Amino acid sequence: MVVHPDPHDGAAIRAALGTSRRLRVLGVTGDGDEALALARRLRPTVSLLDDRVLTSGTDLVAALARWTLVIALTGATERGAIVTLLQAPVQGCLTYGYIEPPDLVRAVHAVADGLGWLSPPPRRPLPGRCARPPHCPRGRTTRHRTSSSHSE
């Protein structure tokens, strides 16, 4: 499942993950409370979660981590912001503007296989590759939720 506040971006992430035969996306939502309900019910192996998604009165990352491994996608590039993010119960972190769609698939596979995933940003963004959406504020994390079919 993909948890993302923008339905178009969520659909694009779903499409990128759909290129892998090992992955099955269980759903896409932009609502944190719905994401928690779905995580409890579906128990996906791995979740991709945009940090702009909010929930009522709870830490969404910590709550989701009770039922799924979480990979954060973020617009943050500052070291301190990434370190803070990694102190949350996430198993991976990808930075918008510094990833290509295949990185999403590789990250989910790695985390589902018990590994962590951290993609260090290159010196400059890759042109035309999963660039941070203009509405994504700098220093914020973007998170989505996906599931690996081999562990469901």
23: domain CATH number? Answer: 3.40.50.2300
- Which pairing describes strands 28-29 and 2-3: parallel, antiparallel, or unpaired? parallel
Q: What percent of the chain has pLDDT over 70?
A: 78
**Number of structural domains, the chain?**
1
Per DSSP, which regions of the chain are E strands? Answer: 2-3, 28-29, 46-50, 69-74, 92-95, 117-118, 141-143
Mean pLDDT value across the chain: 81
Residues 97-141: pLDDT tens digits? 888 889 999 999 999 999 999 876 555 554 544 444 434 333 333
Domain residue limits at 81: 2-151
Q: What is the pTM of this model?
A: 0.77
